[in-house]
Amino acid sequence: MQIDILEPRRDLLGECPLWDARSQSLYWIDGRAQRVRRHTPATGASAEWHAPQHIGSIALCESGRLLLALEHDFWLLDPDSGAIVPMDAGVTHAADCMRLNDGRTDRAGRFVVGSMTLGRAEPEGALYQLTAGGAVKTLDTGIAVANATCFSPDGRWLYFADSHTHQIRRYPYDTATGAAGASEVLVDTLPLGSVPDGATVDAEGHLWVALVQAGQLARFTPEGRLERTIQLPVTYVSCPCFGGPGLDVIYLTSISNSGNLLRSDHPDAGAVFAIHGVGVRGLEESRFADLPPRI
């Protein structure tokens, strides 16, 4: 196994890496700096775009655009023109000092995203589902910090964590209708010395979770058993994805200064790491089934 650094830029709050198989590029965000970033490993080309608010998460779209979950509403970014326009869709938070956070597209093209409270651990957030037409449905409530959102390969399970609880949960999920059933605890990360942050699944259905306070990436079986951990050179690793031509490279974002509790002076804090040789392949990212481009 080999761990490399993708490119020289460092993020304040690196999150939500997504491999675009069409362009063979990696997209990710620096949420606090309000930037969407892209890097193409084969050519070394990089680009970035500035959003009008803090970015919680992003999704690839069928149209080639990117869906952006900002503080309380959804926007679309056209990487070719650089235009960023709002959708007619958003959420109304239950209290002040809240924003949207981690999200992922289901196997049918809906975007599922959770919210979080800022500066407190009160469970005032929710888990939402956005359709291409702009309809927003609430799937669950009572959440403090939404993270680890992803789906099993067949789409029948929605994985999710309220980081404050240390629990990774799973919901039975109906891909045809978008309905989610009652959740159950799959993993408790407290014995691992960290809350769970971002997550993804591999082609075998195993769950890869960033242990943000331990500097580790953990792989869990579909039954919730810890299968392995990978130690990274920095502490605050935040979210993984699979990428590369063979979908066998794990890209992992990290944090140098979250603006809250997580801050590191390590020279590689905020880097995007590329982990080669794990012996596992991922899945191509599901795309948000957006409407025809309007920009």
Query: What's the CA gap between 12 and 29, in Å, rounded?
Result: 10
Range of the domain at 58: 2-276
User: Into how many domains does the chain fold?
Assistant: 1
Quickly tell me which residue has 């994805």 as its tokens.
241
- Residue 9, in any domain of the structure: yes
- What are 137's two structure tokens? 């449905």
> Could you identify the residue written with the tokens 């609880």?
165
Q: Give a yes or no: residue 243 inside a domain.
A: yes
Tell me, yes or no, whether 211 lies in a domain.
yes
pLDDT confidence of residue 167: 97
CB 35 within 8 A of CB 47: no
Residue 292 maps to a domain: no
Q: Give the residues across from 215 on adjacent strands.
A: none
Task: Give pLDDT tens digits along the chain (295 positions).
Answer: 999 999 999 999 999 999 999 999 999 999 999 999 999 999 999 999 999 999 999 999 999 999 999 999 999 999 999 999 999 999 999 999 999 999 999 999 999 999 999 988 899 999 999 998 999 999 999 999 999 999 999 999 999 999 999 999 999 999 999 999 999 999 999 999 999 999 999 999 999 999 999 999 999 999 999 999 999 999 999 999 999 999 999 999 999 998 888 899 999 999 999 999 999 999 999 999 996 644 4
Residue 265 CB neighbour total at 10 angstroms: 7
According to the model, what pLDDT value does residue 55 have?
98
Indicate whether 27 belongs to any domain. yes
CATH number of the domain bearing residue 253: 2.120.10.30
Rg for the chain (alpha carbons), in Å?
Answer: 17
> In 3-state terms, what secondary structure has residue 83?
coil
Do the domain assignments include residue 191?
Answer: yes
pLDDT at 292: 61
Instruction: Specify the pLDDT at position 295.
Output: 43
User: Is residue 70 one of the residues assigned to a domain?
Assistant: yes
* Residue among 217, 189, 105 at smallest CA distance from 208: 217
Residue 294 forms part of a structural domain: no
